[in-house]
Structure 1
């Protein structure tokens, strides 16, 4: 696998209960063992985690395929893989 292409963690979103005002760091490389969040596995690759702050309490659907145009949230891109 090339280090310049993300790994598909799963071909569906990760549903996560989020807390208003809390900051989350979404894994953009797909290598994290703590999906959908960063665990530092991107080190040595061109990827960086994406910071996202919840605007309200509730459920957020984080991209699992790493192809969303609305990252870190799912836009349905996994349906085209």
Structure 2
């Protein structure tokens, strides 16, 4: 258990060991969720990172790694073609 004091402006400092564990740093967004036991603080989920991680899983069926950025660019170009 890690204890922290609340500062005069209602702030707490998240210890480095916790920031490292959560993979968060300066300017990162976090989610504060009210739960029965108190407040849960967790990193804001990045949907593009999830998709990239998911696409990088190679079950042996793929011949090459999926390039998410290229797929998105191709889809956007197909939807928004200027004439």
Larger radius of gyration: 2
TM-score bracket, shorter-length normalisation: under 0.3
Q: Which has the higher contact order (CA 8 A, sep 6+)?
A: 1
* Greater fraction strand: 1
With normalisation by structure 2, the TM-score equals 0.21
